[in-house]
Amino acid sequence: MINKTSVEYDGVIRVCRELFLKKSTDYGTAWRILRISSITDQIFIKAQRIRTLEEKKVSKVGEDITSEYIGIVNYCVIAMMQIDLENDERTELPVDEVEMYFDKKVNETKELMFAKNHDYGEAWRDMRISSLTDLILMKILRVKQIEDNLGQTLASEGVRANYQDMLNYAVFALIKLGLHKDS
């Protein structure tokens, strides 16, 4: 099962990464101007839209749930890159550097997923996609609270771990939606 998960995970990430790098080529790294709290809000908007689509079953702008989950994956990577690049004043990064950071953040997050999957026995496979959406929304609210507390926590993980969890939940949803089969 672990090998299957790894292959599926990599298939989803391939699609997300390809889109991310194409947008980096088209737009540059305009996202560097975003504060972490703004990135959190972007993830919130995407997760809230998914929840609305799950409940109403109709999209008026033509984008589907899959594209929103891909956006969550990529914004989580952006958030983790921004954390690492906090003291880097550059607003424009070369695409090859962005690619390196993307791969590093995803690999760290995939390792975390395998550690948790070992302990939880791949419980996500029996979950509904709507539950994954709700978990992402809960993690966003946690991150917002940590941000409002200026990063101070007493007994909880920091924002990076929450972004990693959101990324993994979004990948799980994309696996369940069959995206890994398209890669």
| Domain ranges, residue 51 | 2-181
Q: pLDDT confidence of 183, banded at 50, 70, 90?
A: low
> Rounded to two decimals, what is the model's pTM?
0.93
How many structural domains compose the chain? 1
CA dist 166 and 160 (Å) reads 10
**Could you tell me the two tokens for 60?**
């008026």
Integer-rounded Cα radius of gyration of the chain: 16
Residue 122 has pLDDT above 60, yes or no: yes
Using a pLDDT cut of 70, give the percent of the chain over it.
95
Residue 50 has pLDDT above 70, yes or no: yes
